[in-house]
Amino acid sequence: MTTLTLNINNKSYQFEDLDPRTTILDLCRHQLKITGPKKGCDHGQCGACTILINGQRVNSCLSLAVMHEGDEITTIEGIGLPETLSDLQKAFRDNDAFQCGYCTPGQICSATALIEEVKQNWPSYVTEDLTQPNALMEHEIAERMSGNICRCSAYPNIIKAITEVLEKQIQQNQPLQTEAQVDSSNSALSSAVTGIWSPPPSEAQLKSPPAKTDQPSNTANPSTANRSQLTGVNS
């Protein structure tokens, strides 16, 4: 019997006889119920599944879980939860840098790594002068985020949100906030998941019509009231 130990969002998980073909994305979503990373194309082209491994962005749909024993794996839940949003999550919320929200977890994970890359003066494909600090130009940030697709085309506001946090971090020389830790038994996370989406226990339940409710409908614009709870977590 083979045991695999993975560190995900600063919590240790052990798996026995895990299928070696299992990706981190499927492991998180189906076995651990960490549903922040999204499955979009499942071919590493859309970026919806982006997570951080040792601080660097990775397409979790292409990365096998067995490759990452001993690595630090971080999903959107490890960056910030509804009550402890990171600087980037707040900036995305305040700048309306999302519409449907499906790509937002991957966008924020990618942008988190981007900020550290810029602070370490890593060049991109469009960096013009390798001897100078990285410029916070729109085309520079767009290139660094080119692996994350937003089908709602919220790109201008995404770039605006990232630029806002970049300028703050560079001016104040602050590390990016990533203080929230995920726990599958965390009541705050559980309530957030319950309030937004919960996987059906069976195909039969998925196909069955929703149960009627006597509760009055008072959700004319729920996205405005609950936006701070939705940003980048289980959107």
pLDDT tens sequence for the chain (235 residues):
578 999 999 999 999 999 999 999 999 999 999 999 999 999 999 999 999 999 999 999 999 999 999 999 999 999 998 889 999 999 999 999 999 999 999 999 999 999 999 888 888 888 888 888 777 789 999 999 999 999 999 999 999 999 999 988 877 765 544 444 444 444 444 444 444 455 556 666 666 766 665 555 554 444 444 444 444 555 4
Give the 3-state secondary structure of the chain: CCEEEEEECCEEEEEECCCCCCEHHHHHHHHCCCCCCCCCCCCCCCCCCEEEECCEEEECCCCEHHHHCCCEEECHHHHCCCCCCCHHHHHHHHCCCCCCCCCHHHHHHHHHHHHHHHHCCCCCCCCCCCCCCCCCCHHHHHHHCCCCCCCCCCHHHHHHHHHHHHHHHHHHCCCCCCCCCCCCCCHHHHHHHHHHCCCCCCHHHHHCCCCCCCCCCCCCCHHHHCHHHHCCCCC
Q: Does domain 3-79 have CATH number 3.10.20.30?
A: yes
pTM: 0.74
Domain with CATH 3.10.20.30 in the chain: 3-79
Domain with CATH 1.10.150.120 in the chain: 87-172
CATH topology of domain 87-172: DNA polymerase; domain 1 (1.10.150)
